[in-house]
Amino acid sequence: MFGDRTGFIVWYSDWKAARGLDKYGTLHYLSRKMHYAVLYVNSDVAEETLKNLQRLPYVKRIEHSYRNEIKTEYERNVPDKTRFYGL
């Protein structure tokens, strides 16, 4: 359904202006209290979008999200101890 996506954490200074970030990608979350937004964009236009976001006057800084790099397949190396505690 979706191609490769890249996530950005965008720190902003104006909440009302930050609602317009959805023009640049999929706006997943917008925090009013901590002043950050989670934005997902297609990987093929990520660098171009990053340059456009940095030009905005209300954007303080942009961080790359490491969600795609986190391992999500887990192994069970610990033996099951439930049989020792059974009745």
Which CATH number goes with the domain that contains 55? Answer: 3.30.70.80
24 part of a folded domain: yes
**Tens-place pLDDT, residues 21-37:** 999 999 999 999 999 99
Residue-number span of the structural domain to which 32 is assigned: 5-69
Q: What is the spatial distance between Cα 18 and Cα 58, in angstroms, rounded to a whole number?
A: 7
3-state secondary structure of 55: coil
33 part of a folded domain: yes
Q: What is the spatial distance between Cα 18 and Cα 2, in angstroms, rounded to a whole number?
A: 24
3-state secondary structure of 59: strand
87 part of a folded domain: no
80 part of a folded domain: no
Counted domains in the chain: 1
The residue whose two tokens read 């023009």 is 23
The half-sphere exposure of 19 on its side-chain side, counting CA atoms within 13 A, is 3
75 part of a folded domain: no
Residue 1 has pLDDT above 70, yes or no: no
**Tens-place pLDDT, residues 67-84:** 878 887 877 777 777 777
pTM for the full predicted model: 0.77
Q: Taking all residues of the chain, what is their mean pLDDT, rounded to a whole number?
A: 89
